[in-house]
Amino acid sequence: MGLIELFVLAVGLSMDAFAVSICKGLSLGKIKVKHMCTAGIWFGGFQGLMPLIGYLGGRYFADMVTKWAHWIAFVLLVIIGGSMIKEAFGREEEMDCSMAPRDMFLLAVATSIDALAVGVTFAFLKVEIVPAISFIGGITFLFSAAGVKIGSLFGMKYKAKAELCGGIILLLIGLKIVLEGVGIL
């Protein structure tokens, strides 16, 4: 996986956290740098941790399913991307302004489940995991911190668009992986 592909993947994965961060910024009203960093650390940290967990689990099973790796990656990314697109057209979620560890933990886990599945695909694709998770975590940190600020300025206007964009990106990456796997690209 090249740097451009990894960047596009990181942006796609960060869209859920970005959308939630926008909601947090909206609910907080007046924000401080502390709020931006809190969201960035929680969301970026979990977006980096979950692919590592998926990768370690995937490596355990990788030898058994290497022949099917591109299809597994494709199916996982289609499920994740489809879910994000579905959420983009779903009902609006209620957000509160709490930045308490318990609340942020639950949000960070919820927004990074897709990254867990991506970590499994990393194992099948033999991706260098440390640079990949560092990059994904860093991009998500930046998007989350920016999302809090944007949310405080613009509100819910871009939440659905961010989720839709992230979902489409993940679908396209999945399509590319399967087309490479079957020898079309």
What percentage of residues in the chain have a pLDDT greater than 70? 81
Considering only CA atoms, which of 118, 142, 146, 117 is closest in space to residue 132?
Answer: 118
Average of pLDDT values for 64-71?
66
Average of pLDDT values for 112-136?
88
Q: How many domains does the chain have?
A: 1
* Backbone torsion region of residue 155, taken as left when φ is above 0, otherwise alpha when ψ lies between -120 and 50, otherwise beta: left
Residue 185 domain flag: no
Residue 15 domain flag: yes
Residue 116 has pLDDT above 80, yes or no: yes
Residue 19 domain flag: yes
Residue 43 has pLDDT above 90, yes or no: yes
- CATH number, residue 68: 1.20.1250
Quickly list H helices, the chain. Answer: 3-28, 33-65, 69-88, 101-125, 129-154, 159-181
Residue 61 has pLDDT above 80, yes or no: no
| Structural domain for 18, as ranges | 3-179
The answer to whether residues 42 and 111 touch, using CB atoms and an 8 Å cutoff, is no
pLDDT grade for 10, boundaries at 50, 70 and 90: very high
Residue 145 has pLDDT above 90, yes or no: yes
Residue 166 has pLDDT above 80, yes or no: no
Higher pLDDT, 183 or 34: 34
Residue 184 domain flag: no
Residue 151 domain flag: yes
The answer to whether residues 106 and 43 touch, using CB atoms and an 8 Å cutoff, is no
Residue 8 CB-density burial (10 A; 0-12 exposed, 13-18 middle, 19+ buried): middle
Question: CA 136, 83, 40 angle in degrees (round to 5)?
Answer: 30
Residue 20 domain flag: yes
